[in-house]
Chains A and B, each alone.
Chain A
Amino acid sequence: MSASTRQSLHPGLNLGAEHGDDHLEAETSVFGFWVFMMSDMVTFGMFFAVFATTLPLACCPGPTELFDLGSIAWQTSFLLLSSMTSGMAVLTMKQEHGGRSACIKKLVFWLLLTVLLGCGFLYREISDFIFMATAGGPPTRSGYLSALWSLVGLHGLHVTGGILWCLVIVVGVMVRGVDLRWKLALLRWAVFWHFLDVVWIFIFSFVFLGGLL
């Protein structure tokens, strides 16, 4: 089956038939990454399960003393917008594969904007962690706080990893151009980045907002 007869091989984060053989190449590699991503979701799920079985104790500060709704709103906005800009990066790569240097400039712009928004998210998150630690809520204080720090911290580590990965892709496309290798890297990174936002939906809804109810 040739590339042109098959429109869409895997979810939207694909290259499109005009990319020829690269399009076919992307199918297995991106689907494989989806499988990894799902196993990562199970890991997050178990952290959620542990968190759900703990209760804030009377001994230590609880959600009302530790969480700042405004900061959570900022983090949520940063991450949602970065998900959007990462989508714009993928669209740029898909659609402007013809004009090389113009495409690279636009692509790098969207990727760096995503990195910037990701750093904004991390900045607010780390400030919150520092506040929590100084306000009497370090992870060692109670089971609830341990579960909270590990769940939110695990997500923060993923975001840090995603930012570093994105920077590697930026350097890659600037040095080597948008060739097959970096196209595939960008597609997989985009899947990763979108899923970090998906996990964040559940963290802000159930950990932070649910805790404040």
Chain B
Amino acid sequence: MEKSKELHHYLIGLALAAVLTVIPFTLVATVGGKASYVGLIFCAILQLIVHLRFFLHLSFKGQQKEDLQLVLFTGFILFLMIGGTIWVLGNLYTRM
């Protein structure tokens, strides 16, 4: 791949990540409130995707699929374990 194209890729990633970092900080510093939590989750997931796409160069095509499948499977395991823990203990908490 050409030099400048690869550099561009990193710069786009940096810019997107910076924006997605500034938004949650401003939300907490100025808006606040429990409703901002949705914004936090949204920005965090978007920034995760930006990092995987632009810094770690995962994509849906070519050989890179194997790594993407590995990441998605790990994501699934994490979802089950973290989600399950929060579900079970959250349920207990509301019964206390």
Binding site for B on A (CB under 8 A): 6-13, 16, 31, 34-35, 38, 41-42, 45-46, 48-50, 52-53, 69, 72-73, 76-77, 80, 83-84, 87-88, 91, 94-95, 191, 194-195, 197-198, 201-202, 204-206, 209-210, 212-213
| Residue of B21, B37, B41 ringed by the most chain A CB atoms within 10 A | B21
| Residue of B17, B27, B90 ringed by the most chain A CB atoms within 10 A | B17
Q: Which residue of chain A lies nearest to B41 when distances are taken between CB atoms in the complex?
A: A205
> Is A213's CB under 8 angstroms from B33's CB?
yes
Nearest chain B CB to A169's CB is how many angstroms away?
A: 18
> Is B36's CB under 8 angstroms from A52's CB?
no
Q: How far is the CA of A34 from the CA of B56 in the complex (A)?
A: 11
Q: Which of B28, B41, B62, B85 contacts A53 (CB 8 A)?
A: B85
Determine chain B's interface SS by DSSP, over half rule.
helix
> Is A201's CB under 8 angstroms from B48's CB?
yes
Q: Which residue of chain B lies nearest to A45 when distances are taken between CB atoms in the complex?
A: B78
> Is A213's CB under 8 angstroms from B28's CB?
yes
Within 8 Å CB of A52, what residues of B? 82, 85-86
Q: Which of B3, B17, B43, B56 contacts A95 (CB 8 A)?
A: B3
Q: How far is the CA of A210 from the CA of B51 in the complex (A)?
A: 21
> Is B40's CB under 8 angstroms from A206's CB?
yes
> Is B48's CB under 8 angstroms from A88's CB?
no
> Is A80's CB under 8 angstroms from B85's CB?
no
With A87-B10, A213-B34 given, is the CB distance from A12 to B56 under 8 Å?
Answer: yes
Within 8 Å CB of B36, what residues of A? 213
